Amino acid sequence: MRERLEDYQKALVGKPPEAILHWALLEFGAERLGLASSFGAEDQLLTHWLVSLEPKARIFTLDTGRQFEETYDCFQRSKDKWGIEYEVYLPDGEALAQLLSEKGPCSFYQSVENRKECCYIRKVQPLTTALNELNIWVTGQRKDQAVTRGNLNEIEWDQVHQIFKLNPLCNWGEVMVWEQIKTHKIPYNKLHDQGFPSIGCQPCTRKVAPGDDIRSGRWWWESPEHKECGLHNRPK
């Protein structure tokens, strides 16, 4: 599959997000395509488009066990609005119990290694399980979200999971996303109204000041080049 990447990139360059999603559904089929949602603004907009194009589209989420109440509230409102049967992936119980027993519930503050270990158990491993059934996964990543995402493409090859990764919003800015959310009355996480542009787990996310880097509230105690949880590791 990997050898088709260049052709795919040429076909999708500069295309609007809805057209990219439509193309991917035709090329890969709804059964082998999945949208990863953490109920952030970008994921909600993609969900809106995807269920309009294909009501039975696969949408999965990783329940880390450490999310905000507001995130679960958005999950519920989204389910009620769209009637989606979200595919929910949980951390492995044994690995999680061992982590909590050996290092405690907040070891992620103590070192980058500990933080990555927690992300691995709660996010990366469940993601790997989710992606096993897919040929392409859809993400809400945008270029201007982080220094680690500056060379994002509409479609990429995920070397770790050996499947394609689709980033329909890669060239969009935050304002464009919010215009669509307001226009279409799309449910969104209420924390976005309270100074949280990027929302992850509750202990690892805090408010940012207006104008600050969007992801500066994620793992704020680490330097910017470490600020990925392992879900979106990319070649440098």
Residue 229 a catalytic site member? yes
Does position 36 interact with ligand SF4 (CB under 6 A)? The reply is: no
Among 22, 48, 58, 122, interactor with ligand SF4 by CB under 6 A = 122
Stretch that binds ligand SF4, among 12-20, 38-46, 49-57, 200-208 (CB under 6 A): 200-208
Catalytic residue among 74, 106, 170, 229: 229
Measured from the CB atom, is 17 or 217 closer to ligand SF4? Answer: 217
Instruction: Provide, rounded to whole angstroms, the least separation between the CB of residue 99 and ligand SF4.
Output: 9
The answer to the question of whether 204 is labelled as a binding residue is yes
58 forms part of the interface with ligand SF4 (CB under 6 A): no
Among 140, 129, 137, 142, residue whose Cα is nearest residue 165: 137
Question: Does residue number 148 form part of the binding site for ligand SF4 (CB under 6 A)?
Answer: no
Does 204 interact with ligand SF4 (rule: CB under 6 A)? yes
**For the chain, what is the radius of gyration of the CA atoms?**
17
| Stretch touching ligand SF4 by CB under 6 A, among 21-29, 114-122, 188-196, 220-228 | 114-122
DSSP labels, the chain: -GGGHHHHHHHHTT--HHHHHHHHHHHH-GGGEEEE--S-HHHHHHHHHHHHH-TT-EEEEE--S-B-HHHHHHHHHHHHHH----EEE---HHHHHHHHHHH-TTGGGT-HHHHHHHHIIIIIHHHHHHHTT-SEEE----GGG-GGGTT--SEEEETTTTEEEE-TTTT--HHHHHHHHHHTT----GGGGGT-SS--BGGGB----TTS-TTTTBSTTS-GGG---STT----
Closest CA to 48 of 81, 6, 7: 81
170 is annotated as contributing to ligand binding? no
The single residue among 123, 142, 192, 215 that binds ligand SF4, judged by CB under 6 A, is: 123
Q: Is 119 in the site for ligand SF4 (CB under 6 A)?
A: yes
Q: Per CB under 6 A, does 71 bind ligand SF4?
A: no
Amino acid letter for position 213: D
Report the residue number, 65 or 173, with the smaller CB distance to ligand SF4: 65
Give the shortest CB-87-to-ligand SF4 separation in angstroms. Answer: 19
* Residues with active-site annotation: 229
Residues belonging to the binding site for [4Fe-4S] cluster are 118-119, 201, 204
Which residues sit at the interface with ligand SF4, rule CB under 6 A?
A: 64, 66, 108, 115, 118-119, 122-123, 200-201, 203-204, 229
